[in-house]
Amino acid sequence: MGRIVKTAPERRQEIINAARAHFQTHEYKKITMQDLMQKVGIAKGTIYHHFASKGDILEAVVEDMVDEALIKKQALLKAHTGRPPLERLTRLISENNMARDNETLLENLHHPDNSQIHTRQLARFLLKLAPLYASVITEGCETGIFRTERPLECAEFLIAGAQFLTDIGFYPWDDEQLQRRMTALPYLAETLLGAPPGSFNFLKNGE
């Protein structure tokens, strides 16, 4: 059997996949580029051809996670086509497996050296997912369940507020601060979208 020659995009994705698994099970500051080379089984020149540093690889891994989250949420909406907009938005918000499935990896973003990557991760999450949320909000406006002239901006504020103000990776919020915000989220979402009272009560428990 002849040697399999991989394209540059295929090799890059192979590095990302292997690094993602490694970041998920090891502490970031203890991981070296040599560890990642051994994990993938490639030469030093090959890995540095695609990535300049361990931080660059982590950022690519995080982008891969966000893209995966987008694909899953798109599939979720497609599976519930025809359901009421409020139900679809509820499912869209509730179905948040990225943190649960990548707990150790996301904890690595809280390392001080990765603060910029963490910030860009949240910005990327916002830019890629807000239009999806906005499409459902627009449907809700058309059916009368929501009342807003700015669906995209509402989606952006909801995502950004929830991501930043409940993420202890940016600042070590205490339990009281987190609980206060989680309690207010349903009211803020209802007010922002002009939704009926109680529409977002499921957010109180961070579900």
Tens of pLDDT along 127-149?
Answer: 999 999 999 999 999 999 999 99
Host domain of residue 180: 54-205
User: 149 lies in a domain?
Assistant: yes
Q: Establish if 30 belongs to a structural domain.
A: no
From residue 89, give the alpha-carbon distance in Å to each of 6, 9, 80, 118, 191.
40, 34, 10, 26, 15
Q: Is residue 46 part of a domain?
A: no
What span, in angstroms and rounded, lies between the C-alpha atoms of 58 and 62? 6
From CA 132, how far away is CA 20, in angstroms rounded? 25
Cα dihedral sign for 109, 114, 119, 122?
negative
Mean pLDDT of 107-115: 72
- Tell me, yes or no, whether 21 lies in a domain: no
Please state the domain count of the chain: 1
- 162-176 pLDDT tens trace: 777 777 666 777 889
How far from chain centre, in Å, is Cα 162? 12
Nearest C-alpha neighbor of 92 from the set 178, 179, 158: 158
In a domain, 116, yes or no: yes
Cβ atoms of residues 136 and 51 within 8 Å: no
Question: 199 in a domain, yes or no?
Answer: yes
Is residue 35 in some structural domain? no
- Residue 181 above 70 pLDDT? yes
Structural domain includes residue 179:
yes
